[in-house]
């Protein structure tokens, strides 16, 4: 009979199962991350030697008005990428509780569709919709609103909100599916109790549905806020940051600095700053909203 294995060695050997995944994580996440952090303290053209410059890149970023205003744009985009989709998603989920629609699966699939499309496809499609002679303007002209129609993405006033609306369209399918799934796990007794207490649709929504979806709302916020801040492809395809700098966001600067301006060190520092910003915001969201135990 074999002697029983000491528990400790069993525990250690368990970690071996993590090794393959950890190696991948090390090579594809931790190494590039630490290399980016190192590069962010240097001046580097992308090839050749890196020159150590300390915190200079960070100082320059913070004093660059174009960059600070691009962060402002990101926060405006959070409204469109995060708040609007969550409100629409909650609205649909709340209605679903009260109204049973035939063929709901089909509607759900259609509303979720934007979420599975490539952002490049979405960007090109909306660029066409917003074009000076695109469907949106044709529609406005048809109703006699020729005064209103314009080159939406070429307008210094409207480009940012109109790019934001594309984000709303893409993201609300995700929040909707999340909330509909969440609603189904809320015990039906709570709804019955609310009915007995004479709660109307709104009271029911605010007292039963909304508190029951707290976990899902946190998940939705984390995902959508992250996307709003690190979003690149949609802006790159639709406006390229223009006109002027009116839709410029930090990730566009990272791309431009690294690939157009030979400033990989500066691009890295902006990348690190953006990561820290996202990390801080997400932590704040989770800490403020999570269940108190």
Q: Does 97 bind other proteins (CB under 8 A)?
A: no
Min CB(68)–other proteins separation in Å: 16
Instruction: At 52, give phi and psi (nearest 5°).
Output: -65, 125
What is the rounded CA–CA span in Å between residue 11 and residue 278?
A: 35
- Segment contacting other proteins by CB under 8 A, of 45-53, 138-146, 170-178, 220-228: 45-53
Q: Of the two residues 156 and 279, which places its CB atom closer to other proteins in the complex?
A: 156
> For residues 173 and 113, is the Cβ–Cβ distance under 8 A?
yes
Min CB(37)–other proteins separation in Å: 21
Bridge partners (DSSP) listed for residue 52: 42
Residue selected from 2, 9, 14, 260 as contacting other proteins according to rule CB under 8 A: 260
Residue at token pair 């600067």? 253
Residue selected from 87, 240, 276, 283 as contacting other proteins according to rule CB under 8 A: 240
Structure token pair of residue 167: 């984000």
Min CB(226)–other proteins separation in Å: 25
- Segment contacting other proteins by CB under 8 A, of 138-146, 212-220, 243-251, 280-288: 243-251
Min CB(212)–other proteins separation in Å: 45
Q: Of the two residues 190 and 261, which places its CB atom closer to other proteins in the complex?
A: 261
The helix/strand count (H/E) of the chain reads as 16, 2
Helix residue ranges, H only, 208-263: 210-212, 214-230, 233-238, 250-259
What is the rounded CA–CA span in Å between residue 267 and residue 62?
A: 13
Question: Residue 271: how many CB atoms within 10 A of its CB?
Answer: 23
Min CB(274)–other proteins separation in Å: 18
Q: Please tell me whether the peptide bond between 28 and the residue prior to it is cis, using omega within 30 degrees of 0.
A: no
Q: Of the two residues 154 and 215, which places its CB atom closer to other proteins in the complex?
A: 154
Min CB(244)–other proteins separation in Å: 4
- Segment contacting other proteins by CB under 8 A, of 25-33, 44-52, 53-61, 209-217: 44-52
Q: Of the two residues 132 and 187, which places its CB atom closer to other proteins in the complex?
A: 132
Long-range CB contact pairs, 42-48, < 8 A, 24+: 42/265, 43/263, 43/265, 43/266, 44/264, 44/265, 45/262, 45/263, 45/264, 46/258, 46/262, 46/264
Min CB(262)–other proteins separation in Å: 5
What is the rounded CA–CA span in Å between residue 267 and residue 221?
A: 27
Q: From residue 127 to residue 156, what is the string marking binding to other proteins with x (rule CB under 8 A)?
A: x--xxx-----------------xxxxxxx
Residue selected from 190, 262, 275, 282 as contacting other proteins according to rule CB under 8 A: 262
> Dihedral angle at the C-alpha atoms of 51, 55, 58, 64, nearest 10 degrees?
-90
Q: Of the two residues 150 and 230, which places its CB atom closer to other proteins in the complex?
A: 150
Min CB(120)–other proteins separation in Å: 13
Binding site for other proteins (CB under 8 A): 45-48, 127, 130-132, 150-156, 239-246, 256, 259-263
């Amino acid at each position: 009979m074999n002697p029983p294995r000491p528990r400790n060695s069993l525990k250690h050997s368990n970690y071996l199962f993590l090794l393959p995944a950890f190696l991948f994580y090390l090579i594809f996440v931790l190494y590039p991350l630490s290399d980016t952090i190192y590069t962010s303290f240097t001046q580097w053209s992308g090839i050749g030697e890196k020159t150590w410059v300390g915190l200079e890149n960070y100082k320059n970023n913070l004093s660059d008005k174009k960059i600070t205003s691009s962060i402002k744009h990101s926060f405006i985009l959070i409204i469109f990428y995060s708040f609007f989709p969550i409100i629409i998603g909650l609205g649909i989920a709340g209605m679903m509780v009260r109204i049973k629609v035939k063929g709901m699966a089909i509607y759900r699939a259609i509303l979720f569709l934007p979420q599975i499309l490539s952002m490049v496809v979405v960007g090109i499609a909306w660029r066409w919709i917003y074009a000076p002679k695109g469907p949106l303007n044709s529609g406005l002209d048809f109703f006699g609103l020729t005064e209103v129609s314009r080159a939406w993405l070429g307008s210094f006033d409207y480009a940012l909100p109109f790019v934001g609306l594309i984000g709303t369209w893409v993201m609300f399918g995700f929040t909707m599916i999340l909330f509909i799934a969440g609603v189904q796990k809320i015990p039906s007794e709570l709804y019955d109790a609310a009915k007995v207490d004479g709660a109307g649709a709104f009271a029911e929504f605010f007292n039963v549905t909304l508190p029951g979806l707290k976990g899902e709302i946190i998940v939705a916020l984390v995902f959508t806020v992250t996307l709003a801040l690190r979003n690149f492809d949609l802006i790159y395809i639709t406006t390229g940051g223009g006109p002027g700098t009116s839709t410029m966001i930090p990730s566009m600067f990272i791309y431009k600095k690294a690939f157009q301006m030979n400033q990989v060190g500066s691009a890295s520092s902006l990348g690190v700053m953006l990561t820290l910003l996202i990390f801080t915001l997400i932590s704040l969201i989770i800490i403020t909203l999570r269940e108190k135990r």
